[in-house]
Chain A
């Protein structure tokens, strides 16, 4: 199946990654003043990228855990670095989410971004290169390049096109993520030399790394470094404070992409790298990570409840939602992980849509303060209806997308972590509180602010980009089979692999060994001579 004859098909993933890059180059040569042309070109390019990604989803074979649509060419052979991309059941829907949201986001900027349109669109396209690349890279070096590539355009999107305290927020965003990246880089390098020490071959290939049985002490430090990098990105409590600032000051398009895709890079990183490479450490540190995830669920909900700024409220709600995702991943069973992946997609759709909706309001009134609104239902009924559907999706109403993800996460996590899951499940109560309360204050009541009396309802363009999101809200909620079944083989294999590798790595460990002894005692030196610092 993956060997379809057309050259396009054999290089499909590369086309997906580099089409936006080519587009960015193309944009350089377009006249700066012709905003309409710039916007349309960017839109067509991202739409084309989405359409080209459809065959990947349709032809994807859900019955195998192997990487599909693989392309592998040596890149820097002397260091064992190759250009290796592929897609499996874990990355498929994140790829689709990215390509799906890009044209929608571009469409939302037609009237909201007026300054430096050319540069804005170039950054958006570069962002897509990085995001698609992150989800497709099967080589650690390549992954790191894309990971860092995402950082720069987002930094500028916030810093240049943002509002109020945009410089502060942009720097904060940058420093947090970057601090994590550095740690990850160190761990990648250490892993690289460990691989060489064991096999005698230099390689940065993930599949090669995955074959290693890494000594447990080394696992601990490497996992810690990876986990920290990803935890900053997710963001997990207590590393989340960059998120509300970044969201509040980012332009709408930036917020959408940040919430919908960039945060998923963190959770995806856990699932793709930190957990399968270092399963012993991952399992051992689960109590810590799951507890932080659950704290995030409640903390995000509580703090969201008392926000005065709608965008900040949605930002804190992301902390809560991503807490659910993390909890699911660390359940280490099929329900939890499939639920976690699905919830990544759901969060992308629901929170992305929420930011778009807030953007629509912001564009009309230039304020995001809840107190500035009230009674909008009457003047903008269509907008209110869309907002209601998305709010309910975010609350996790059964029949809509959020429920399926949350439920699978909780049902999966309940088995290994009963008490924590019960606490996490109480998050569903508070999600209803903060979102419905916000909805009530914005939409219900009588119009108290005269400026809102003649607010125009959503226009055709706004409906056009909101409608696809709503379709998926229902689709995933009613028939999640479409999405879950393509994950099965990969997730099942991952779960089995985690356990098998854990057993292998722990083969020499005495039964009943305490964690402190496992990681910190001076033990019998293994093959990990290169590990220490």
Chain B
């Protein structure tokens, strides 16, 4: 056994935590005085956009620029070694638990601070630290004009730490710490430009909507504890057979637990009905969108559902709910993506849609496929966001695609890499997205939990995805320039610190899928085999449940989804390259429908009117009518009575303290009276 490195598993989250501590110290002691001095010189509005005036870089910024990425890079190195050590073990023995210290413990409840490395968390830590490292490096370039540089890296490192806790925790409570922790970092990072009201609002919205989900998760933990007597993954899952036999763990309880967990998942992973925060989250800096709101945090819900797959498989209703919500979200948000003009918002809705695919996979029992898509999506979506960041950076903060165009030649690296990612997300054969998405579509049709309708919705969404992604590429990089002349003069390709991560992610977007090539295409699907110890019967059911489907059918469906994607691309070419006037015409012909979709089906407005306003108005009523008038009315009435009595007693005493003393005296008389009585 070469498992020695596993003893250092704690370093994986600890290194980013170290970054948090050191960068906080820098932010507090080095950066704060600098910023305050600048404030004192009374320089007005700052930070509303991405790029602003240059100034000489003080030494502390260099330290931060090194330290911020370095701790995550080191964490990635440890992760790789640890995963290799895990892989060296036989498949049934790939579970390593490291208990750090007892944490919350009372009576029979025990939740130690403990980490767990198994094939599932191995995939997750590699994605989080790997993609995270690239985004940290990219941030050094992208954020180089920002004043609160150290603060940014504090948050980014803190996020990495929390995300690693989320995926490495060995019990539900540690997962919950990470779960809320990433929510906090998301809040802080969305609101990074807190002086902008929309940014601060978006941050708060993200946190609150996430909390609605967290509430579900929390109640699920209570139910898990009182059902299984533990919140530790290994113990909970091991007790399933016994408790099912004894009738303690009924389908009803399993359904309740899994649906509550799924409420949490819809919050974090932006599914219907709690997806509303994610598009607004684009107010944050673009690397943050890439890391948190595309590649890692939003996949936490998928991870959670996959982690608890054993429970989901006991609850067919929950599985169906997950699948349907996933499919519905996939197509619903894809349609919104068509109409958006902000480049980041298109990508945001695309993320919501792709997360829908992952849930669709989980819902049909293809957990491995869901995690596979999670991984490939992390590569190409991070790339798309970072690419869009590179575009925005080049265009001095412009995000509206209507003011872009013809950037292909001016930003060659950005264009090439983004184009690769677009091919990948569209599901063009050979690229990573093809393998993972196709796996999901196939399983949604063939698995025992699947249904032809789910497949149809998923395939339709794939076509729409290809359409809006190519729309994005055509509007941004092709055609005539629609840029402001001022902006156009400053267009430049980004520095290496930004383009190198783009190139690396492009390689991963192409090749990342090759570890999961299905057997139908002559591959071995190493990925599914790697995760088999975690999902066990789950993958089995999905793979062999569809045993009676022929290979020919699999090819047919594959061809179908590729065909639909090509149609989407063709349509995008026709509308945005061949006949650029047509989209406006179409929009003009169905103004009602177009407006509804453009305005995101007015869901935000409906939530605001139906929930937010009512709660606020109700609270005002509670305070003014109930608290101040009703309860205090009674109190003041009693007070008046007392005062009336007090008037009469005024000859003896004045003031309340007087009557207090009087009362005590009376009390003493009563005591004495009692003493004498018996």
Hey, which bits of chain A sit against chain B, CB under 8 A?
79, 148, 152, 155, 171-172, 174-176, 178, 182, 185-186, 189, 193, 196, 238, 241-242, 299, 302-303, 305-307, 333-335, 338-339, 375, 377-379, 381-382, 385, 392, 397-399, 403-404, 407-408, 410-412, 414-415, 421-422, 425-426, 428-429, 432-433, 436-437, 440, 443-446, 457, 478-481, 484, 492, 530
B109 touches A411 (CB 8 A): yes
Given contacts A445-B197, A446-B45, contact A174 B656 (CB under 8 A): yes
Known: A303-B619, A397-B181. 11 other contacts (CB 8 A): A171-B639, A185-B667, A238-B631, A241-B631, A306-B623, A338-B107, A379-B36, A397-B184, A432-B208, A446-B45, A479-B101
Q: Which of B36-65 contact A (CB under 8 A)?
A: 36, 39, 45
Binding site for A on B (CB under 8 A): 28, 32, 35-36, 39, 45, 101-109, 173, 176-177, 179-181, 184, 187, 191, 194-195, 197, 200-201, 203-204, 207-208, 211-212, 214-215, 218-219, 221-223, 225-226, 615-616, 618-620, 622-623, 627-628, 631-632, 635, 638-639, 642, 656-657, 660, 663-664, 667, 670-671, 674-675, 678
Q: Which residue of A lies closest to B664 (CB)?
A: A148
Do B218 and A425 touch across chains, with their CB atoms under 8 A apart?
yes
B574 CB to nearest chain A CB (Å): 45
With A182-B667, A399-B181 already in contact, the answer to whether A411 and B657 are too (CB < 8 A) is no
Question: Considering the complex of A and B, which 7 residue pairs feature the smallest CB-CB distances, nearest first?
Answer: A334-B107, A302-B619, A414-B222, A398-B177, A444-B200, A444-B194, A338-B106
Residue of chain A at shortest CB distance from B221:
A411
* A306–B615 alpha-carbon span in the complex (Å): 10
* Given A182-B663, A398-B180, A443 contacting B194 (CB threshold 8 A): yes
Whether the pair A302, B615 counts as a contact (CB closer than 8 A) is: yes
In the bound complex, residues from chain B placing their C-beta under 8 Å from that of A530 are 678
Q: Write the nearest CB–CB distance from B166 to chain A, whole angstroms.
A: 11
From the candidates B184, B223, B620, B670, name the one contacting A392 in the complex (CB within 8 A): B184
**Docked pose: A530 CA to B191 CA in angstroms:** 66
Known: A302-B619, A306-B616, A411-B221. A428 touches B211 (CB 8 A): yes
Check B671–A189 contact: CB distance below 8 A. yes
Q: Which of A155, A178, A382, A425 contacts B32 (CB 8 A)?
A: A382
Q: Which of B225, B620, B628, B635 has the most CB of A within 10 A?
A: B635
Cβ B670 vs Cβ A306 within 8 A:
no
Whole-angstrom distance between the alpha carbons of A357 and B37 in the complex? 24
Looking at the assembled complex, report how far the CB atom of B658 sits from the nearest CB atom of chain A, in whole angstroms: 12
8 A-B Cβ contacts within 8 A? A155-B656, A174-B660, A303-B622, A305-B615, A428-B215, A433-B208, A446-B45, A446-B195
Contact A339-B195, Cβ < 8 Å, known A299-B622, A392-B184: no
Cβ contact within 8 Å between A381 and B204: no
Is A407 a contact partner of B104 (Cβ separation < 8 A)?
yes
Q: Which residues of A contact B631 (CB under 8 A)?
A: 238, 241
Q: Is the CB of B657 within 8 A of A333?
A: no
Contact B106 A335 (CB under 8 A): yes
> Would you give the shortest CB distance from B639 to chain A, in whole angstroms?
7
Contacts of B664 in A (CB 8 A): 148
Residues of B contacting A242 with CB < 8 Å? 635
Question: Given A378-B39, A398-B181, A446-B45, are A339 and B671 also a contact pair (CB < 8 Å)?
Answer: no
How many angstroms between the C-alpha atoms of A302 and B108 in the bound complex? 34
If the complex has contacts A175-B656, A375-B195, A428-B214, are A306 and B107 also in contact, measured as CB distance less than 8 A?
A: no
Nearest chain B CB to A361's CB is how many angstroms away? Answer: 18
A231 CB to closest chain B CB (Å) equals 13
B104 touches A408 (CB 8 A): yes
Tell me the complex Cα distance, A178–B678, Å: 28
Residue of A nearest to B46 (CB): A378
Q: CB within 8 A of B660: which of A178, A238, A305, A437?
A: A178
Cβ-neighbour of B222 out of A148, A185, A379, A410 (below 8 A): A410
CB pair A480 B104 closer than 8 Å: yes
Please give, as numbers and ranges, the residues of chain A lying within 8 Å of B179 by CB-CB distance. Answer: 398
Checking A303, A375, A411, A480 against B103 with a beta-carbon cut-off of 8 angstroms, the contacting residue is: A480
Do most interface residues of chain B lie in helix, strand or loop, or is the interface mixed? helix
Contact of B670 among A189, A410, A443 (CB under 8 A): A189
Report Cα–Cα, A35/B656, bound state, in Å. 30
Indicate if the CB atoms of B622 and A302 lie closer than 8 Å.
Answer: yes
User: Contact: B106 with A339, CB < 8 Å?
Assistant: yes
Chain B residues with Cβ below 8 Å from A433 are 208
In the complex, A131 Cα to B51 Cα: how many Å?
56
Q: For the complex formed, measure the closest distance between the CB of B674 and the CB atoms of chain A, giving whole angstroms.
A: 6
B619 touches A411 (CB 8 A): no
* Residues of B contacting A398 in the complex (Cβ-Cβ under 8 angstroms): 173, 176-177, 179-181
Q: Nearest chain-A residue to B188 (Cβ)?
A: A388
CA distance A385 to B618 in the complex (A): 32
Bound-state CA distance A171–B620 (Å) is 26
Q: In the complex, how many angstroms separate the beta carbon of A532 from the nearest chain B beta carbon?
A: 13
Q: How far is the CA of A392 from the CA of B162 in the complex (A)?
A: 15
Quick check: A335 and B657 within 8 Å, CB to CB? no
Contact A334 B106 (CB under 8 A): yes
Contact of B642 among A175, A189, A382 (CB under 8 A): A175
Would you call A303 and B208 a contact (CB within 8 A)?
no
Bound-complex Cα distance A115 to B620 (A): 37
Cα-based distance from A152 to B173 in the complex (angstroms): 45
Q: Report the minimum CB–CB distance from A336 to chain B (whole Å).
A: 9
- Chain A hits for B173, CB < 8 A: 398, 407
Note all chain A residues with C-beta closer than 8 A to B218.
407, 410, 425, 428
**Cβ distance B261 to chain A, nearest Cβ, rounded Å:** 14
- Give chain B nearest CB distance to A369 CB in angstroms: 16
Give B206 Cβ to nearest chain A Cβ, in Å.
10
Could you tell me the distance in whole angstroms from the C-beta of B561 to the nearest C-beta in chain A?
Answer: 40
In the complex, which residues of chain A have a beta carbon less than 8 angstroms from the beta carbon of B208? 429, 432-433, 436
The CA of A428 and the CA of B221, in the complex, are separated in Å by 15
Contact A193 B674 (CB under 8 A): yes
* CB neighbours of A443 from chain B (8 A): 194
Instruction: Specify which of A175, A415, A440 is in contact with B639 (CB 8 Å cutoff).
Output: A175
Q: Which residues of A contact B632 (CB under 8 A)?
A: 241
The closest CB in chain B to the CB of A399 belongs to: B177
Closest B residue, CB atoms, query A337: B106
What is the CA–CA distance of A385 and B109 in the complex, to the nearest angstrom? 33
Identify the interface centre among B107, B219, B663, B678: most chain A CB within 10 Å of its CB. B107
Report how far A379 CA is from B37 CA in the complex, Å.
10
A446–B48 Cα distance when bound, in Å, is 11
Closest to B630 in A: A238
Bound CA–CA A478/B17 (angstroms): 14
Chain A residues, CB < 8 A from B109: 335, 408, 411
Query: What are the residues of chain B within 8 A of A174 when measuring CB–CB?
Result: 656, 660
**A302: B residues at CB distance < 8 A:** 615, 618-619, 622-623
Residues in A neighbouring B660, C-beta threshold 8 A:
174, 178
CA distance A381 to B618 in the complex (A): 35
Q: Which residues of B contact A480 (CB under 8 A)?
A: 103-105
Nearest neighbor of A378 in chain B, beta-carbon distance = B39
Q: Which residues from chain A contact B200 at a C-beta distance below 8 Å?
A: 440, 444-445
Closest B-chain residue to A188, C-beta based? Answer: B671
B107 touches A335 (CB 8 A): yes
CB distance from A200 to the nearest CB of B (A): 11
Interchain CB contact under 8 A, A306 and B36: no
Q: Please measure, in the bound complex, the distance between the C-alpha atom of A288 and the C-alpha atom of B132, giving whole angstroms.
A: 51
Chain A residue nearest to B642 (CB atoms) is A175
* Residues in A whose Cβ lies below 8 Å from that of B176: 398
| Bound: A241/B629 CA distance, A | 11
Shortest A330–chain B CB gap in Å is 16
**Residues of the B chain whose Cβ atoms lie less than 8 Å from the Cβ of A404:** 104
CB within 8 Å for A381 and B107 given contacts A303-B622, A414-B222, A432-B211: no
Given A175-B639, A429-B208, A479-B101, CB of A445 within 8 Å of CB of B622:
no
Complex Cα distance A306/B642, Å?
32
Whether B656 pairs with A171 at a CB distance below 8 angstroms is yes
Closest to B184 in A: A397
Smallest beta-carbon distance A310→chain B, Å: 15
- B214 cross-chain contacts in A, Cβ below 8 A: 428-429
